Amino acid sequence: MTTTPTLIRADRSQPANVSLQSLEWTPSPLAGVDRKMLERNGDEVALATTVVRYAPDSSFSSHTHARGEEFLVLEGVFSDEHGSYPPGTYIRNPPGSKHTPFSKEGCTIFVKLRYMKLSETERVVVDTNTATWITSDQEGHTLLRLFMDPEGDEDVTMERLAEGASVSWEIPQGGEEILVVEGDLTTPKGTYTQGTWLRHPQKGTATYSTSQGCLLWIKRRHLPSPA
C-alpha cells in the first residue's frame, strides 16, 4: 500500500511565516513527546522542520538519522547518551548518526531533519551562551556562526539585534530561514514575535528592525530557487 506523504508548507521555494502560538501540539508515536510542525514532506520519516516538546522524564526510542538532524534547545535540558544540553545549545548530528534522546526535567527543541549532505560527517555542538560572538559593521548587530558548509551551500548563525536597531543585508541565492527565538523582528511585511518561523527563498536586500531587541536563529543559502 502506498502512503500519501504529509505535506505542510512543503514547497520550500515559496515564502512562509508561522507563529508557533497559532499551532496545536500534536502527539508523536511516543508518549510524552509532542510536536508543532512548521514544514513537512513525508510521514514519520520526513524532511521536516518541527518544534518538539519532551515532558519531564520522557524519552524517544533509539533511532538513526539517515540524512542527519540539527536542533537548537529552546527550553529545559535535552539529553542523550552523548551528554545533557541546556537552552542555547546547537547540535548537528550528521547523516548515519544514532542516539536515544530523553529529558529528565522536560525540554523544547527546534529541530530540522533530513536536510544534510551525505558528505557531512562531523558532529557539531555549540553552546551559544559561552561561545564568542562578533560585532558586525552595523550598529547593534552581533552574530555567532554555528556552521558553514565548505561548498557554500549552507550557513547557520545566531544573530542579535539590540533594542531599536535596524539592519540591512543581502539575502543570498538559496534564501534564508529565520526563527525568532526572543524579542520582536520587523520586516517590510510585518512584525513577528518570539516563536515565529520565517522562510524567505527570494534573493534580494532585506531590511529588518526591532523595538525591544531580538535573538534570531538564521539559516541561509539552502533553499531551492523560487519557481
pLDDT at 2: 47
CB 9 within 8 A of CB 39: yes
**Residue found by looking up cell 523595538 in the block:** 211
pLDDT value for 3: 54
Give me the domains of the chain, ranges plus CATH numbers.
6-125 (2.60.120.10), 134-220 (2.60.120.10)
Which residue in 175, 160, 168 sits closest to 219, CA to CA? 175
Lookup result for grid cell 552595523: 138
pLDDT number for residue 37: 95
pLDDT confidence of 119, banded at 50, 70, 90?
very high
Is the model's pLDDT at 83 over the cut of 70? yes
> Average pLDDT, stretch 69-95?
96
Q: What is the mean pLDDT of residues 183-191?
A: 95
Contacting residues for 150 by C-beta, under 8 A, at least 6 apart: none
3 state SS of 21:
helix
pLDDT, tens digit, 9 for 90 and up, residues 10-57 = 999 999 999 999 999 999 988 899 999 999 998 777 889 999 999 999
Q: What is the pLDDT of residue 1?
A: 43
